[in-house]
Chain A
């Protein structure tokens, strides 16, 4: 099977100057270029994580406190996103429901983390396709939040652009229901930034980048940190009782 090479977009020509050249490129040269590119991408993500740490340390603690409080009150967390962000939403739900084991166990004699009630709103393909087919894709999460959501539950929406219509609509519904709302976004936060300004989104974390894979990689550190903080806070409040 052979297919014709596609025209390289301008930015790719910039990053990979020999792209689009028709003459053959020595294997070693192509590999060297790719090798250097992998390291460049790593540096970009590490730089974003460094920025996020400076921007959001306090906000992460504040958000984790309100999520921990919700779990203490017997509330649940609902996570949602599209595409790769749907898998990130599924990932945090998996981490909450089936806490990963640390080997060796963390210092201080702390045991394994407890399972916490969370639902991944992309999981049920019958529900997702039924809603999308009947009332449109914009409502796939809205409809489920209406069905499942209660006052004090947590809605965690992930969107690299911050603009996904079904995520924006879900936050509006979640707030109407009386839920705590957390948004992870990229670029400049997009419409999620507007939602935060108007009070629809309570906790907003923006990865200041326009490269989607890098945004997702940095977002993973944010939600993993939230996960860790929530457990630390729950453990400390259990100790007090």
Chain B
């Protein structure tokens, strides 16, 4: 039911802005963007769950990082793993890296250099493109043999940040983009636990899928470490 002025319309530049259509437009984007993303990314999400479970199984930890509002996603994913809201799920070691340091530009890298090893997981968030520090940190993590995951979007050119698992949401709206990221990392957290029920799968050194191994570039990692 469209109502009169004062009940859903505001005047802007002499034209009426329909606030109801603002709400409808935002919700529509928040429904179609994730549907598209999950349709395309379900395979890689499942493989990422397995890869993360294998890292946790060999004693690894999750390090999450991002700038600005993405920093809140890093903290959100960390608390999910450390203090699961679903009874019966085990606590897993996860830390949100602080963006503060002597030089904020290399704060994330410095922390990983000191704290992390090849058994760990580096998870970067870059919702608004650029984020040189996230890119550099992921490059460092990959060179150090860590499992690398990035949640990105909107970037022109390479949005994978060189990460093994790049979840890129093709969407121009930074708010919707972030909502899709949240859904994706919640799912990773919820489903990593499924693989703890299958220790045989955790201890194998086989890549998640033989057919997908070419792009993972992780051959031999983890050998003899369990």
List the interface of chain A (C-beta within 8 A of B). Answer: 1-3, 5-9, 12, 16, 18-21, 24-25, 27-28, 30-39, 41-43, 45-46, 49-50, 52-53, 57-58, 60-61, 64, 83-84, 86-88, 90-91, 94-95, 98, 100-104, 108, 160, 212-213, 216-217, 220-221, 224-225, 227-229, 232-233, 235-237, 239-240
Contact = CB atoms under 8 A, between A and B. Distances in A.
Given A1-B59, A88-B76, A221 B172 contact: no
Given A42-B183, A100-B128, A229-B22, A239 B13 contact: yes
B69 interface: yes
Contact of B80 (A5, A18, A84): A84
A5 to B, nearest CB: 5
Interface in B75-113: 75-76, 79-80, 83, 85-90
A53 B43 contact: no
Contacts of B34: 42, 45-46
B199 A83 contact: no
B206 A27 contact: yes
Contacts of B71: 90, 94
A224 B198 contact: no
Given A87-B79, A94-B72, A217-B183, A38 B27 contact: no
B226 A2 contact: yes
Nearest to A85: B76
A234 to B, nearest CB: 10
29 contacts: A3-B57, A7-B88, A25-B200, A27-B50, A30-B195, A31-B43, A31-B209, A33-B194, A34-B49, A34-B191, A34-B194, A35-B46, A37-B187, A42-B38, A53-B27, A58-B7, A58-B20, A84-B80, A87-B76, A88-B72, A88-B76, A90-B72, A91-B73, A103-B129, A213-B187, A213-B189, A232-B17, A236-B11, A239-B12
